[in-house]
Amino acid sequence: MDINLKISHFINSNLQQESEKVFEGIVRGRKRALENWFEDRWNELELVLDTINAYLDKDEVKSEKLLEIITDKKEQFKDFSEIFFINSQGKVSFSSYTANMGKDLKDFPNYIRGMEGKPLMYGPYIDEESLKIGESNSKFFDQVTLMFSLPFYNESTGKKAVLCGRIPNDVMSDVLQEEDTHIYKDSGDNYLFMVKSNRGIEPGTAISRSRFEDDTFTLGDNLKSGVKTKKWGTIKINKHTEFEIIFKDPATNSLHKGVQNTINNEDHLEVWPGYPDYRHILVGGKGIIFQPKYCEEVWGMLCEGDIEEIYKFRSINFKLPLLLGGISAVSYGINYFLANFDNYIRIPSTVAIFLINFLISVFAINKLVKKPLKRTIKILQEIAEGDGDLTKRVGQLSNDEIGEVARWFNKFLNNQMTLVKRIGSSSKDSEKSLENLSSVMKEFQSSAVAIEKEIFDMVTFSKAQNEIFQKTEKNFKVITEEGKKIDHILGKINENTKETNVNVIKNGEASKEVLSTMEVLEQEMKKTLRSVNVLKNYSSDIYKVVNVIEEISGQTKLLALNASIEAARAGDSGKGFSVVAQEVSNLANQSSEATVSIGELINNVQKETENTIANVQEISLEVDKVSHIVRLSINMFEEIQKHIAGVTKDVGEISLLINEQTKQLNDITTSTESIANKINKDTEKNEGRSEAILNMMKSVIDQLAYVDQASKVLYNSSNNLNEIVSAFKLIEK
């Protein structure tokens, strides 16, 4: 170790504990600043998502409106260089940087986690698109990128997407490397390195921009031009600190002590004797483990300074006595020499030396104490008067108490500026939100009036609906009763139909018997007709016989006449023959008379027979007609019987259906009655509730007016806050 370092440590041995507190404070402050920064970015991305959700309709946000929202929010939240959506197919569907639309990112970690419904902060990683898009809220920017993402789900359409926000890694590095937080201006550096990676990044690899990446903050060596080491050549980067620097001691090619101890112990603090860093220069500092919100990797953070600068401090208690003592020694030596040279000038020389010592002391105190204090007091005075320039800093910092006061005062100013800037940013956001709130309140007021009318109409409609339902319930009762009557009537119809069917069957059987009798009668009539025809024929034969008898009778008369004539001729001998002839003539006359009578009778019989035949034929025709009609009747009765059987079956089924429907109607009526009673009660309750809701809506409308007034007051307060913030001069990135 260099002898000068040992001397510095010996002179300032009391600084070791103080330096530990300094590094503890730096690390605590940088960690808090990073956590706040990450939290703010997540809040901003969630606000983008909330704004989009607020505009969702039944389908989805219109593309024009979505582009307008993300473009507007990108302008509002300046740390983001791009805000975009990845759809469920893994392609960029909307982006504030339109050249990226349609880009396939289905293998991108943010898309994969988003489809799983998880947020993710991915990075830092190399992305050439960040260089094309350009700077956002930092004057430094390169390919190194952080990607924030939130899952998006449209409940109406069931569609998934991922909302992403791109931030250059240099924006985060600006927070880490806030210049006024560096107490050790010449060598102080705050940096992040990888501890645990799921991407194969080697532990100890730089993942933030170094303060010495270029000559922005220091005039000495930097990484882009090359940092020279004593024995191990020049350390140089091509594009950026991230991923190109691994914090190893070049003498051992192993991670230097500060990084290794932080990884092993999750904490590290050393300010003496220090350890060689990647330049093989002794440094001291504080290291901790850090994991950003929704990041799947673990980072380490180290805040360091060179041991030489840490112990470069020279107290005023040391410098002023040394300076004044040296001047006094020289002055007394000169006075002693002059006094020995000439006693007459001893007093004047003593006075002159005193004046010189006094003036030198005044100059030294003015230079070392008064002027720095005056600069600090002036800045304090400007801030106290409300017209402070927070960009001013106390310059020409010395390595003493006054320099320490100036350094801490500069850090205080930086903290105040950071605070005021956050207040200013919040105030602007509040102002814009209040403008939106005022607009929403106006819309809500008009909507509330419409809602009040709708509720009133709904109450009126509910009452009318209840009345209709009550009438329906009564109608259901009537229908149920009518159904029961119909079922009863159908029962009777079914019984009558069955009786009719029985009678039809009996009539059918009787008709069949009649038909059978008619058929028998028809046969008998045919037989009678045949018999009458035979009788007619017999009558004809008898008539023929009678005619023969009549002819015989005529001949007999002629013979009797001849016999009488012959008997007369015979005289007395012929008297007996005459008597016989007379008897024969009488018999012939009687036969003739009988034949005439028989002829008349036969004529009558023939006439009657012919009449009988005609009547029998007419009867036979009528019997045929009746038989045909009876047959038709039987067929009709059979058809009627079939139909009656079908009707009986249908009536039975209808009766069963009516009976089932009656039961269902009974159940419906019971349920309807119960529901009607409940609806009636609910309507009465809801009527009271609706009136309460109407009163509440009126109260809401009144309260909205108060909210509108309050938003105007807040808007004015925000304007006043902006005016207060604008009174300070801030460093704008």
For residue 255, tell me if it sits in a domain.
no
| Residue from 44, 38, 236, 226 nearest 146 by CA | 38
| pLDDT tens digits for range 126-169 | 999 999 998 777 888 789 999 999 999 887 778 899 999 999 99
Residues 590 and 627 in one domain: yes
For residue 264, tell me if it sits in a domain.
no
Task: For residue 465, give both structure tokens.
Answer: 């609906």
For residue 256, tell me if it sits in a domain.
no
Asked if pLDDT for residue 689 goes beyond 70, the answer is no
Asked if pLDDT for residue 700 goes beyond 50, the answer is yes
Q: What is the spatial distance between Cα 274 and Cα 293, in angstroms, rounded to a whole number?
A: 32
pLDDT of residue 698: 62
- For the chain, the domain total comes to 3
Report the CATH number that the domain containing residue 123 is assigned in CATH. Answer: 3.30.450.20
Residues 643 and 682 in one domain: yes
State which H helix or E strand residue 131 sits in.
helix 128-133
The pTM assigned to this predicted structure is 0.58
- Among 393, 415, 437, residue at a domain's last position: 415
Contact 214, 222 (CB under 8 A): yes
- Among 225, 245, 265, residue at a domain's last position: 245
CB-side neighbour CA atoms (13 Å) of 659: 10
| Residue from 237, 291, 229, 238 nearest 256 by CA | 229
**Mode of pairing for the β-strands spanning 248-249 and 254-255:** antiparallel
Task: For residue 633, give both structure tokens.
Answer: 């009747």
Between 657 and 448, whose confidence is greater?
Answer: 657
- Average pLDDT over every residue of 341-355: 71
Contact 560, 581 (CB under 8 A): yes
For residue 167, tell me if it sits in a domain.
yes
| Residue from 118, 110, 89, 99 nearest 165 by CA | 110
Residues 434 and 376 in one domain: no
Asked if pLDDT for residue 254 goes beyond 70, the answer is yes
State which H helix or E strand residue 124 sits in.
strand 120-126
Residues 409 and 471 in one domain: no
Listed as own residue / partner, the contacts of 293-297 with beta carbons closer than 8 Å and 24 or more positions apart are: 293/35, 293/38, 293/39, 293/42, 293/121, 294/42, 294/118, 294/119, 294/120, 294/121, 294/148, 295/120, 295/121, 295/122, 296/120, 296/122, 296/198, 297/194, 297/195, 297/196, 297/197, 297/198, 297/199, 297/201
For residue 289, tell me if it sits in a domain.
no
Q: What is the spatial distance between Cα 416 and Cα 422, in angstroms, rounded to a whole number?
A: 10
For residue 560, tell me if it sits in a domain.
yes
- Average pLDDT over every residue of 666-684: 63
- Average pLDDT over every residue of 523-539: 70
Residues 65 and 76 in one domain: yes
For residue 646, tell me if it sits in a domain.
yes
Residues 450 and 408 in one domain: no
Sorting pLDDT into bands at 50, 70 and 90, what band is 58?
A: very low
Task: For residue 484, give both structure tokens.
Answer: 């029961």
Contact 304, 182 (CB under 8 A): no
Chain centroid to CA 384? 54
Residues 429 and 470 in one domain: yes
Residues near 238 by beta carbon (within 8 Å), at least 6 away in sequence: 244
* Residue 80 CA: distances (Å) to CA of 67, 98, 166: 15, 15, 6
Asked if pLDDT for residue 731 goes beyond 60, the answer is no
Residues 408 and 461 in one domain: no
Residues 44 and 101 in one domain: yes
Residues 421 and 556 in one domain: yes
- Among 415, 441, 476, residue at a domain's last position: 415
pLDDT of residue 589: 73
Q: What is the spatial distance between Cα 451 and Cα 694, in angstroms, rounded to a whole number?
A: 9
Residues near 488 by beta carbon (within 8 Å), at least 6 away in sequence: none
Q: What residues make up the domain containing 207?
A: 3-182+202-245
For residue 428, tell me if it sits in a domain.
yes
Residues 445 and 573 in one domain: yes
Residues 463 and 575 in one domain: yes
Between CA 711 and CA 722, with CA 716 as vertex, the angle to 5 degrees is: 120
